[in-house]
Amino acid sequence: MSDPKLVDRLERERDTEPGDHKMPGTVVLTALLLLCFVVYYFANWKALADVWHVR
Amino acid sequence: MSIHQPPDDWFQAPHGPERVWIGLALAWCLILFLMMPYWHFRGKQNSTGEAYRTTPAEFAERVNRFIDANKVGEENGVPLVEPAPGSDIYLAAQMWRWYPALKLKKDQTYRLHVSSLDVQHGFSLQPMNMNFQILPGYDHVLTVTPTQSGDYLIICNEFCGINHHLMTGRIRVEG
Amino acid sequence: MTSLALPVGNFRTGEARTCDTTGLPVCLHAQRFIKLNAVCAVVALLVGAIGAILLGLTRWPAVHLLPADWYYRVLTLHGINMLIFWIIFLEIAILYFAGTTLLKTRLASTKLAWTSFLLMAVGAVLTNITILQGTADVMMTSYAPLQAHSNFYLGMILFAVGALLGVGNFFACVWIARRDKTYQGSMPLVAFGALAAAIIAVVAILHGAIALVPTWLWSLGLMDAPDAGWYRLLWWGIGHQSQQINVCAMVSTWYLLATLTVGAKPLNQLVCRSAFVLYVLFINIASAHHLLVDPGVSAGWKIWNTSYAMYLAVLASMIHGFTVPAAVEVAQRKKGHDRGLFGWLVKAPWANPGFSAFFLSLIIFGFIGGITGVTLGTQQINIIAHNTLRIPGHFHATVVGGTSLAFMGLCYYVVPLIFRREYAARALCRLQPYLFGIGIVLVSIGMSFAGSYGVPRRHWDVEFSGAPFAKGFDSGAHVMLGLMGIGAVLAFVGLLTFILLTVHAVFLGKRNEGRAMTAW
């Protein structure tokens, strides 16, 4: 393989200015995660509320 | 770069979507926390861990006294007891049985003392699916109010030896 | 075969080589121990995998394969080999890698590494033999006063001491690297994550020693039985903390694989590093999560130690859950995969098993493992979850679908880069992470929902036939147990494929010395 070494390839890519990164896909993915989280979490509180009272 | 030395100016505040996400996640984490004290004061299902020191011998004696005073019959070879509502009631966990069988009244509150006479056991009420850890030496007090009537199974859900899966008991709730 | 120039770093002649693929220096002493530990890890994985399929087929009520005594014995074997031996052997290998290659430094002590390795290997063999002899049917947790043969505890203690020495060697590498100034400023992120894992490992192993040494003495008849409640508190000090080591090692692996597969780099190093610091600081008494329905610990203690008021360890995972995919997205968009919301993801190298294993691990860990874990670990909700199948449903998503799958992805790079052998049957390699990932998702979902019906964990017969009182579970629970069984078969096939491919590559794979690894 005549590919330049990974390390050189990465070194050549300089960091761009912070702030110009776009990540809308990640935003949607994580929003979906949070939504699932909220639904599952509160469904469990509902299930708990249905069992016998205990202290 | 994750496998190389970071640039010298790596110490920078997050911004954009990353910053928003951190804020949102932190807010959610605070809600996760606040739900617990909220339920502790307002909710009807809490595990307060109320417990007293005991020994297997002492606890077995209390269980036997409780059975003698309240026995109303026998079910599958296990004594069935019907204690007075509001009273202290006893349940022993032992390889491999829950002892005795309990007959309770719906919507009445009981102080249920559970302890183990040998190894660790798991009190698991089915199909209600309520679960508590039962340890030898600890008199675990569950202040419990059955809110539905019917026949309930107590199973053991902490591994306690070769016949663990045969360890079952009964709570009957009459309304 | 070896590179002409001496690699960068503090190496003596003949002590290191330059990696032909990444250009990073590889200490040859460290390389030997990376290999040894990785091989032991895979052997433990194989033992655990055989256990896994036997257990899956026993808990699938339609099959109900093993008799009761062997079910409990194999369950003990499976838990210990998977959760302790496979993972910790591989983590020690990762520490040798991160402590030397990433810091461009040599292994601190070969003697210490040998001592560590031999103790771990002897401990693992001793414990496994004791279990198979049938004198330690106590489950991985070995809750006192249920007693195993003393060799069971002795093996675990030897293994833990060995692991601690391995961690010590890593700290010594970091110290030497700083002394010799082989890196300036801050260490690379992956090494930083490994450092966080190493710190937690020390805390965990110390808890393990406090729990297991008296228990061992008790099994020899030299001490009274430990208190059941205290044993649980201390045992989970290693039992839970060691899962946090896994999380740290897994997240570090995510960052590493994201870099190796798509050239991703962390967006904001401060955020990533702070998240690792949160793991170290807010996991101290995480054993509280296992005592939420225990007697003798108050509601206040439970609520406080579950969350430290803010769930900052959860916050850390949620942060990594954002920064890792974001780094991939940014890298992909920069390459021109810029179409729409998910063009970057569609165009990701899904045929590269390093990438697919990493990304599936991320999704399974976050969406299933994370969400169920926090929910189960909520003080009151634990009442409807404790010791049901919901618990293994959760940790098969974190530690199997998450950590193990990520580590498999790592192996697709470790073998070509460290063993310098190529994987054969490339198409099968590409398929493997999906097979395993889908299988484990079914296992996890099947277990979680069966547990919601109340089905207990560690239980041979959910029909209770022969018990004084018996009532089977709802038919929905049986459907879920069937789903788990099917998933177990799929995951087992995926796992066996991985082991065979890896063993073949390590011993018979085509050598790639002197040139870059064949790109996936």
ipTM tops 0.90: yes
Which residue of A10, A20, A23 is the best one to mutate when testing the C interface, meaning the one whose CB has the most C CBs within 10 A?
A23
Nearest CA in chain B to C137: B161
User: CATH topology for B51-174?
Assistant: Immunoglobulin-like (2.60.40)
User: Considering only CB atoms, which chain B residues are within 8 Å of C24?
Assistant: 3
- Whether A19 sits inside 8 A of B15 (CB atoms) is yes
Asked if the C-beta of C25 comes within 8 angstroms of chain B's C-beta atoms, the answer is no
| Inside any domain, residue A6 | no
Asked if the C-beta of B38 comes within 8 angstroms of chain C's C-beta atoms, the answer is no
Could you tell me the residue ranges of all domains in chain B? 12-43, 51-174
**Which of C68, C143, C232 is the closest to B162 by Cβ?**
C68
| Inside any domain, residue A27 | yes
Question: What CA–CA distance (Å, rounded) separates C393 from C371?
Answer: 12
pLDDT at C6: 67
State which residues form the domain around A35: 22-55
pLDDT at C9: 85
pLDDT digits (tens, 9 = 90+) for C421-435: 999 999 999 999 999
Query: Which positions 22-41 of A are in contact with C (Cβ < 8 Å)?
Result: 22-26, 28-30, 33, 36-37, 40-41
Residue reference for tokens 């002492």: B58
| Inside any domain, residue A10 | no
User: Considering only CB atoms, which chain C residues are within 8 Å of A22?
Assistant: 329-330, 333
pLDDT at A11: 53
- Whether B132 sits inside 8 A of C145 (CB atoms) is no
Banded model confidence at residue B4, pLDDT cuts 50, 70, 90:
confident
- C4 has pLDDT over 60: no
Percent of chain C predicted with pLDDT > 70: 98
Q: What is the mean pLDDT of chain B?
A: 95
Q: How far is A36 from chain B (nearest CA, A)?
A: 13
pLDDT digits (tens, 9 = 90+) for C364-404: 999 999 999 999 999 999 999 999 999 999 999 999 999 99
Q: Are strands B88-94 and B97-99 parallel, antiparallel or unpaired?
A: antiparallel
- Whether C321 sits inside 8 A of A30 (CB atoms) is yes
Nearest CA in chain C to B41: C299
| Inside any domain, residue A46 | yes
pLDDT digits (tens, 9 = 90+) for B43-92: 999 999 999 999 999 999 999 999 999 999 999 999 999 999 999 999 99
Strand, coil or helix: C188: coil
Banded model confidence at residue C242, pLDDT cuts 50, 70, 90:
confident
- Whether C269 sits inside 8 A of B10 (CB atoms) is yes
**Residue C308 DSSP code:** T
Question: What CA–CA distance (Å, rounded) separates B164 from B94?
Answer: 10
pLDDT at C241: 87
**Amino acid at site B127:** P
Residue C374 backbone phi and psi in degrees, to 5: -65, -35
Report the pLDDT averaged over residues C68-90.
95
Calculate ∠ Cα C440-C442-C446, nearest 5°.
120
pLDDT at B78: 96
| Inside any domain, residue A55 | yes
Alpha helices (H) along C187-311: 189-219, 228-239, 241-262, 269-281, 299-307
- C18 has pLDDT over 60: yes
pLDDT at C353: 98
- C293 has pLDDT over 70: yes
Q: How far is A4 from chain B (nearest CA, A)?
A: 17
Nearest CA in chain A to C369: A37
For the ranges C130-144, C274-288, C309-323, C453-467, the lowest mean pLDDT is seen at: C274-288
- C1 has pLDDT over 90: no
Could you tell me the residue ranges of all domains in chain C? 349-520
User: CATH topology for C349-520?
Assistant: Cytochrome C Oxidase; Chain A (1.20.210)
Q: What count of CB pairs under 8 Å joins A to C?
A: 88
Nearest CA in chain A to B152: A52
For the ranges C6-15, C78-87, C229-238, the lowest mean pLDDT is seen at: C6-15
- A1 has pLDDT over 70: no
Our count of domains for chain A comes to 1
- B93 has pLDDT over 60: yes
- C284 has pLDDT over 90: no
- Whether C228 sits inside 8 A of B136 (CB atoms) is yes
Nearest CA in chain A to B49: A55
- B7 has pLDDT over 90: no
Q: What is the mean pLDDT of chain C?
A: 94
- Whether C72 sits inside 8 A of B43 (CB atoms) is no
Radius of gyration of chain C (CA): 23
